[in-house]
Amino acid sequence: MENTKNPTLNHAVRYDQFGHRDVLYIDELPLPSPKAGEVQVKIKTAGINPGEASIREGLMAKQFPSTFPSGQGADFAGVVTSVGIGVTKFSAGDEVLGFTEERNGQAEYIAVKADQLVARPANVSWEAAGGLFIVGSTAYAAVKAVNIKKGETLIVSGAAGGVGSIVVQLAKKQGANVIGLASEPHHQWLKDHGIVPLAYGDNNEATIKAALNGKKADAFIDTSGKGYVELAIKLGIPADRIDTVIDFEAAGKYKVKTDGSSAAGTVQVLEELAEMVNDGELEIAIAKTYPLNQVKEAYEELEKRHTHGKIILVASAN
């Protein structure tokens, strides 16, 4: 797929109507020119996120309206190829990671505001860089929302997923005891990161109570939905120490928090997270990579909803 033959074109993920991932295709677009304050980036890697699938299916049309043809993708990493008027922070050749609010990150090239980019630290892999923004800012916001303190016990559902795997590490870094609900193939990774893994199933309440051994949990972060907010309330956790990034119906019913990427989606938070990765304090687990033109296959895997860490699209290898 890489655009070596005609570098005046930009191969980009598009769709023309709501629907199943089969509506996705790769279009050939003109190269995006950076306007004042913008930077053109040749994208190496881009993240995929479950929310994009929901938007594409039209399930979030009220909150996030679409116009067609639509692009896709919020997080990416790559190399600056040119800069618009007034940009002094970056120049051609700089390696960057960043985010876009224009749904155009899954492409070979992007023109994006310079203040939505940070320099890629040397020890942050291209794969980790391209998928950091959405899951990282969401996890950051969720951990902050439940105000977790040293010695407290936090329970996390979806603990090995894109968001969950960062939540558990950030909470651990703050000195919390963390219990992570995940399927068994992901338990070893959780143990390796100091998390107590628990398999979910038909009786999560009993499983969690047994693990707590008579103690009370202090906070709950739900990245999975499927009744975990109600369970957290049943476990006696105060509503203001429960955060769900997915179950907004239950959040309304039980008045729990819903802080996610919009509560922490800033370039400052991205920079902080990238530094943690660079310093070896935060691991971004990479489940699988796909070339950009296999975007449907990438979402097929993501939509199984058992990803450990991130699935990444590779737009350009050099």
The span from the CA of 103 to the CA of 274, in Å, is: 22
Q: Is residue 282 close enough to count as binding ligand NAP by CB under 6 A? A: no
| Alpha-carbon radius of gyration of the chain | 20
Q: Tally the C-alpha atoms within 13 A of residue 180's C-alpha that lie toward its C-beta.
A: 33
Check binding of 208 to ligand NAP (CB under 6 A). no
Q: Are 79 and 94 in contact (CB under 8 A)?
A: yes
Sole binder of ligand NAP in the list 73, 131, 162, 197 (CB under 6 A): 162
Q: Are 171 and 312 in contact (CB under 8 A)?
A: no
Cis peptide leading into residue 69 (ω within 30°): yes
Q: Does 285 bind ligand NAP (CB under 6 A)?
A: no
| 27/283 with CB nearer ligand NAP | 283
Question: Which one among 261, 277, 299, 313 touches ligand NAP, defined by CB under 6 A?
Answer: 261
Q: Could you give the CA distance from residue 18 to residue 215 in angstroms, rounded to a whole number?
A: 47
Residue 29, burial from CB neighbour count under 10 angstroms (0-12, 13-18, 19+): middle
Count the site residues for ligand NAP by CB under 6 A: 30
Residues 99, 109, 200, 220: which binds ligand NAP (CB under 6 A)? 200
Should residue 135 be labelled a site residue for ligand NAP when binding is judged by CB under 6 A? yes
Q: What are phi and psi for residue 275, nearest 5 degrees?
A: -65, -40
Q: Both tokens of residue 106?
A: 């899954």
Q: Does residue number 72 form part of the binding site for ligand NAP (CB under 6 A)?
A: no
Q: Report residue 130: phi and psi, to 5°.
A: -70, -20
User: Terminal CA-to-CA distance of the chain, rounded, Å?
Assistant: 13
Q: Report in angstroms how near the CB of residue 190 gets to ligand NAP at its nearest.
A: 9
169 touches ligand NAP by CB under 6 A: no
48 sits near ligand NAP (criterion: CB under 6 A): no
Q: Do 36 and 76 form a contact (C-beta atoms < 8 A)?
A: no
Shortest Cβ 312–ligand NAP spacing (Å): 12
- The residue (of 121 and 227) whose beta carbon lies closer to ligand NAP is 227
| Piece of 68-76, 116-124, 162-170, 188-196 that binds ligand NAP (CB under 6 A) | 162-170
- Interface with ligand NAP (CB under 6 A), residue from 3, 49, 82, 104: 49
Residues that bind ligand NAP in the complex, under the rule CB under 6 A: 49-51, 134-135, 138, 157-158, 160-164, 181-183, 186, 200, 223-224, 226, 245-246, 260-261, 302, 305-308
